[in-house]
Amino acid sequence: MTEAFFAALNEIPEARQAEVAKAAQSAIRDALKVARDKAKAAQAAERKAGKANGAKTNATKRKAAAARPAKARKVRAAA
C-alpha cells in the first residue's frame, strides 16, 4: 500500500505533491479514527447487551461469593 501511495504521488507535479500528501494523510487519519470509534461503540454495545441479558459482572460475582458460606478447609497434621 505504501509503494502504491508513493507511486501515485510521483505522478503528481512536484509543486502539488506536498499538498496532496498532506491531504491523503489527513484522510487516512480520519478513516482510522472512524474505524476506532466504531470498534469502541461495538464493544460498548456488547457490554450493554451482556448486562441486559442477565450476564453477571465481576462486582455481582464478588457479592454472590461473599454471600455464600465459606468452604471448610482441611487441616494437615504437622509432621
Q: Tell me the pTM.
A: 0.53
Q: Hey, where are the domains in the chain?
A: 2-66
Q: Look up cell 471448610; give the residue.
A: 72
Cβ atoms 55, 36 nearer than 8 A: no
Q: What is the distance between the alpha carbons of residues 30 and 42, in angstroms, rounded to a whole number?
A: 18
pLDDT for 17-71, tens place per residue?
A: 999 999 988 998 999 999 999 999 999 988 887 766 665 666 667 777 777 776 6
* Cell numbers describing residue 74: 482441611
Q: What is the H or E stretch that residue 21 is in?
A: helix 14-52
pLDDT value of position 52: 61
Q: What is the H or E stretch that residue 2 is in?
A: helix 2-10
